[in-house]
Amino acid sequence: MAAVRVPVAPSVLSWALNVTKADVARLRTRFKVEQWLSGETKPTLKQVEDFAKATGVGFGYLLLPEPPQWELPIPDFREGFGAMPAPSADLIAVLAQSQRRQEWYRDYVLGNGGEELDFVGSAAGLDPLAAAAAIRRALKFEVEDRRGSWADARKTLLRGFEDLGGLSVATSMVGNNTTRPLDENEFRGFALVDDVAPLIFVNTHQTLNGQLFTLAHEFAHIWRGTSGVGNEDPRAEGLSDVERWCNAVASEVLVPADELASRYLALSDRDLSDVLDTLARDFRCGTLVVLQALQRASVRRFDNFPAVYDSEVARLRLLQETSGGASGGDHYNNQPFRIGERLSKALIADALEGRTSLAEAMRLMSMKSMSTFNEYARRLGAA
């Protein structure tokens, strides 16, 4: 029996190669892409299915006569790209999954008599210092409360947000697919504002210190009541009013200006690198965030701040190269961060009580087997 051939439009193939984050050179080697583009031959149905999986582009898109016009479902605050590229298949995938999770959880909360969360949008009319103070209080993240490592600080922020009723996702990949790592240069996080189920997403394919700033930045979006995706950087002023405000709030959440001034006095005679390292330990954040805060609050004067900042970036890069990489850790221990502990417990409980199908719960948690679901439920104490 002859294989079924599929007439995939060359323009659609080119579009798929443009939006994928997979290795395009390997795709061209693995598949007969050049022959498909030239029309010399047509792919089989199985080849189209495999190509869709390899690129992360939905199978249905490849059957369209023309490339689709992908648009982000939330405001795009990404900066520093010049001409903004089309969103990748990976960004579209994690946004769509997050929206599905948010919609499910919103229905779940309202179905169980839940109410709107009063902190969402509550800081829209505040200046950055007042907004940051409100966020720190709500998350129980005052400087004197910070303990442990930077990883502990991240856990405190994530759990603090979930304790308030929000949903959090911190992951470096699409679903649980290790072959689809997220590109930190494309986006570092996003916020989906909702008065019942606000959700923040942090791309952990960046340094831990970068994740802390992204977390604080996305919290600012929620407290402002403005959804958006961004590639926030503590150095950037931001091209939009929203991003400038959120960056200022994030910096103030992590490094309160009044605390910075008082602590700096005891360190002012030391070398800058020593000052930055000490203050970073005090505030449980990155030295670049501290450096930017020193400049922002005029606590220390710099004749050439961009050069000082670049020098600190180089120092950190050298430290990272000599320290070696960290292991990926235990799969089940990472899942509460990749999915969100609040959402996980709600999905497991609802599935085990028969209100949500096990298939739907597993789909929303990006799980493929019952054994994985059962073990995760057991580890989470939700079985």
Given a cut of 60, is residue 19 above it in pLDDT? yes
Locate 82 and state its tokens.
Answer: 């010049």
Given a cut of 80, is residue 133 above it in pLDDT? yes
Given a cut of 80, is residue 4 above it in pLDDT? no
Average pLDDT over residues 349-364: 94
Average pLDDT over residues 228-255: 88
pLDDT (0 to 100) of residue 259: 93
Do 185 and 231 meet the contact criterion of CB atoms below 8 Å apart? yes
Locate 68 and state its tokens.
Answer: 């689709």
Locate 236 and state its tokens.
Answer: 């950037």
pLDDT (0 to 100) of residue 55: 93
Given a cut of 90, is residue 226 above it in pLDDT? yes
Given a cut of 60, is residue 73 above it in pLDDT? yes
Given a cut of 80, is residue 237 above it in pLDDT? no
Q: pLDDT band for position 168 (50/70/90)?
A: very high
Beta-carbon contacts of 281 under 8 Å, excluding residues fewer than 6 positions away, are none
pLDDT (0 to 100) of residue 323: 61
Q: pLDDT band for position 328 (50/70/90)?
A: low
Do 332 and 307 meet the contact criterion of CB atoms below 8 Å apart? no
pLDDT (0 to 100) of residue 5: 84
pTM above 0.75, yes or no: yes
What mean pLDDT, rounded, does the chain reach? 91
Helices 10-19, 45-55: axis angle to 10 degrees equals 30
Cα–Cα distance for residue pair 45/2, rounded to 1 Å: 11
pLDDT (0 to 100) of residue 332: 79
Which has the closest alpha carbon to 283: 317, 258, 247?
258
- pLDDT digit string, tens, across residues 28-57: 999 888 998 888 889 899 999 999 999 999
Cα–Cα distance for residue pair 379/383, rounded to 1 Å: 8
Do 156 and 138 meet the contact criterion of CB atoms below 8 Å apart? no
Average pLDDT over residues 92-113: 97
Number of H helices, E strands in the chain: 17, 6
pLDDT (0 to 100) of residue 20: 93
pLDDT (0 to 100) of residue 1: 53
Q: Spell out the domain ranges in the chain.
A: 1-47, 89-254, 256-323, 334-380
- Residue 306 CB: number of other CB atoms within 10 A? 9
pLDDT (0 to 100) of residue 338: 93
